[in-house]
Amino acid sequence: MKKAIKILILFLLTIFYKVAGLILSRKERVILMYHSISQAGGPLAISPAIFEKQLAYLKNNNYKFITIQELLDSKNEGKIKQNMVLLTFDDGYEDAFQNALPILQKYGYTGSFGIITQFAGTQMGDNSYASWVMNIARHNSNL
């Protein structure tokens, strides 16, 4: 079972690199959307190790990580630069804060964290949502 999971992860990682290379080589705005950064697995999750490998790939290929404001500015000015990428973390899962933030900080990258305000600090099924304290700390970290 573990061998099959490793093979699947390698297969998906290979696909990511090939697709990222095709998409990101074109001159367009690119948004990479994440939900859960965790070892737990699930349809919306990737492991912190794979997330870091993806960021390392982008860094090694000279991609510029941008904010939502920079994305909007480039659209309004009609200036699309190659190698622009925006990272989003949707839903406000606690593991995105716990696992993605240290990796983003390590590389000096930024990301946009979408929060479902009514779920902040709650547990719904298998999903733990970041508390308001975590949300404020992330906001104050300028990531």
pLDDT 10s digits, 130-139: 666 675 666 6
Are the beta carbons of 93 and 46 closer than 8 angstroms? Answer: no
Say yes or no to pLDDT of 70 above 50.
yes
Mean pLDDT of 93-106: 87
C-alpha triplet 122, 100, 20: angle, nearest 5°? 125
Residue 118's pLDDT is what? 79
Mean pLDDT of 80-94: 84
Are the beta carbons of 65 and 86 closer than 8 angstroms? Answer: yes
Distances (CA, A) of 77 to 36, 68, 117: 33, 14, 32
Average pLDDT, the chain: 77
Confidence grade of residue 28 (pLDDT, cut at 50, 70, 90)? low
pTM: 0.70
More confident residue, 123 or 105: 105
Say yes or no to pLDDT of 20 above 80.
no
